Amino acid sequence: MNECELILKDEVYAIVGAAIEVSNELGTGFLEAVYQEALAIELCSRRIPFTAQPTINIAYKGVALAKSYVSDFLCYDCIIVEIKAIKKLTSVEDAQLLNYLKATGKTAGVLLNFGTPKLEWKRMVFTHPSIRADSRPFASETE
């Protein structure tokens, strides 16, 4: 079993279980805000610790930028949860969650899509790759 597969596995499954309950109860067709409110109720009932709509601050070279983002939930103080209600998850939503993970330094995130008849979800693990000088591509001498 891969080390990434083990990171926060039980916690992620608890969050997804709560989301499945919301999906089964409400079905499709509502706005994201409806699913967010319902998921907050379900997380509370399951005693899953969370913060709703935490602010994600962005820094550039150690300087805090004025622009910040808001994710839907931070569960267990370490898993970012992003909710969508769209026809299909795409690389755009993946990139959004990955950027949230990068900005916060959190390791795990869950993308939940309530816009399909059956809940669509993705678990993302962000590892902080060590960049070695010899691993970067160089331009060829002929360019």
- Look at residue 140 and tell me if it is in a domain: no
Strand, coil or helix: 136:
coil
Q: Express each pLDDT in 77-99 by its tens digit.
A: 999 999 999 999 999 999 999 99
**How far from the centroid of its chain's Cα atoms is residue 123's Cα?**
7
Say how far apart CA 14 and CA 1 lie, in whole Å.
20
Strand pairing partners for 63?
60
- Look at residue 137 and tell me if it is in a domain: no
The pLDDT of residue 139 is 37
Residue 106 in tokens: 């959190």
The pLDDT of residue 59 is 87
Residue 13 in tokens: 């499954």
59 closest CA partner among 105, 4, 13: 105
As a whole number, mean pLDDT of residues 119-143 equals 56
- Across 51-60, 101-110, 121-130, least confident range: 121-130
76-112 b/e with 16+ CB inside 10 Å = b?
beebbbbbbbeeebeeebeebbbebbebbebbbbbbb
- Across 16-30, 38-52, 106-120, 121-135, least confident range: 121-135
123 close to 95: Cβ distance less than 8 angstroms: no
Q: How confident is the model at residue 34 (pLDDT cuts 50, 70, 90)?
A: very high
Q: What's the domain count of the chain? A: 1
Residue 135 in tokens: 């691993």
Strand pairing partners for 55?
70
Q: How confident is the model at residue 128 (pLDDT cuts 50, 70, 90)?
A: low
Host domain of residue 8: 3-127
**pTM higher than the cut 0.85:** no
- Look at residue 72 and tell me if it is in a domain: yes
